[in-house]
Amino acid sequence: MTAKTSTSNYKPGMDIKYVQEKYGLKDVIKLASNENPSGPSKKAIKEALKIIKTTNRYPEGSCKILKSKLKKFLGKNFINEKNIIIGNGSSEILELTARAYLGKGFESLFSKHSFIVYKIISNSMQAKIVESNVVKDKADDYMNIDLLDMKNKITKKTRVIFIANPSNPIGKIIDYKNLENFIKSTPKRIIIVLDEAYFEYAAYRGYKSTLELLKKYKNLIITRSFSKIYALAGHRIGYGIASSEIISRLNAKRQPFNVNSIAQTMAASSLNDKLFVKTSLASNENSRLTLISEFKKLKIFYIDTHTNFITIYLGAKTKKIFEKLLSLGVILRPLDNYGLKNFLRVTIGTKSECQKFVKMLKITMSQVS
């Protein structure tokens, strides 16, 4: 069994202004933090401007309007407001889960190379961290979560299992039947968290919604985010869906007024802007295919993705390539703190951003030895 208790820190993508000043550049593109390059929905911005003068007042603490909108949006008669919790980003829902269910003497289980927040929140609760392996076979499932190994890592002390689906920073999706079989075979005393921050991108490529699983498995929590496809990363808002018993327990750990008024308003408005989401997804898919085509031409190994980013392998030259691209005004994400020092993660940007990235990558590849 692999167990780790060392502290890990989250390392965000570099700031554009910092890179501009450091290298004396005017034009810098950030392809490091998996943000929607389209920016927020215009409808959401319009609604936010209407209430900006009222922000001297505390926000509505229970997010009633947004919960009501989400109930309708999700469209499941077994999901009501009591099954939904709103967080300061979906990462807060993950943290509330850790605070509610983890502690000294318990184990937190997730895959190697998983979203680093799982380590941070598990460490904060003094839980023992157990990491399962990823698939090593370089086929379609390469670097995906190895559910069989994860199952074998379960012990009597396992209390919470975190599964990012699609995964970050890898971008892989778990087959629906395999996922349900895993959940079905897991002891019901264990809380299983499906982190679906990138769900909309996977759904665009035909992945089935997991919401029906909530009806069958009362130990399941699904988290989703408004930071990615809805482009509200700067406002920090996400949500969790689970049984009323789990939601009640999470709410007991939640700070009052944890989600600001503008975030609530923009999230509710964004759910209604289907054209914005459709356009953003189509743009992401077009750029994904373009980048994959270019990676093939450059003979760069990439991991196919169901998200808005692509992880590429550059071997021993990775650090030099990253630094050279920085000097040319392209910010990518190194993955050293994920145990993937020979990989870089590339956010799928706009058409023009992808064109600039490819141009600078070609220059870099010709110069770095």
Nearest to 127 by CA among 143, 110, 144, 142: 110
Q: Does 25 lie in the same domain as 63? A: no
Does residue 92 belong to any structural domain of this protein?
A: yes
Q: Does 292 lie in the same domain as 159? A: no
Does residue 4 belong to any structural domain of this protein?
A: no
Q: Does 240 lie in the same domain as 106? A: yes
Q: Does 54 lie in the same domain as 150? A: yes
Query: Mean pLDDT, consecutive 10-residue segments, the chain of 369 residues?
Result: 52 87 95 96 97 96 97 97 98 98 98 97 98 89 96 98 97 97 98 98 96 97 98 98 98 97 98 97 97 97 96 97 97 95 97 97 93
pLDDT digits (tens, 9 = 90+) for 231-261: 999 999 999 999 999 999 999 999 999 999 9
Does residue 87 belong to any structural domain of this protein?
A: yes
pLDDT of amino acid 10: 76
Q: Does 294 lie in the same domain as 155? A: no
CATH number reported for the structural domain that contains residue 123 in this entry: 3.40.640.10
Q: Does 81 lie in the same domain as 228? A: yes
Q: Does 286 lie in the same domain as 261? A: no
pLDDT of amino acid 5: 40
Q: Does 361 lie in the same domain as 240? A: no
From 240, 255, 270, the end of a domain falls on 270
Does residue 80 belong to any structural domain of this protein?
A: yes
Does residue 2 belong to any structural domain of this protein?
A: no
CATH number reported for the structural domain that contains residue 26 in this entry: 3.90.1150.10
pLDDT digits (tens, 9 = 90+) for 99-146: 999 999 999 999 999 999 999 999 999 999 999 999 988 778 999 999
Number of compact structural domains in the chain: 2
Q: Does 137 lie in the same domain as 102? A: yes
Q: Does 287 lie in the same domain as 229? A: no
Does residue 336 belong to any structural domain of this protein?
A: yes
Nearest to 166 by CA among 205, 219, 119, 221: 205
Does residue 6 belong to any structural domain of this protein?
A: no
Q: Does 47 lie in the same domain as 25? A: no
Taking each helix axis from N to C end, the angle separating 64-74 and 261-272, rounded to the nearest 10 degrees, works out to: 20
Asked whether the beta carbons of 98 and 110 are under 8 A apart, the reply is no
pLDDT digits (tens, 9 = 90+) for 150-164: 999 999 999 999 999
Q: Does 78 lie in the same domain as 162? A: yes
From 225, 251, 270, the end of a domain falls on 270
| Statement: the pTM of the whole predicted model exceeds 0.85 | yes
From 246, 270, 294, the end of a domain falls on 270
pLDDT of amino acid 4: 44
Range of the domain at 189: 42-270
pLDDT of amino acid 137: 84
Does residue 3 belong to any structural domain of this protein?
A: no
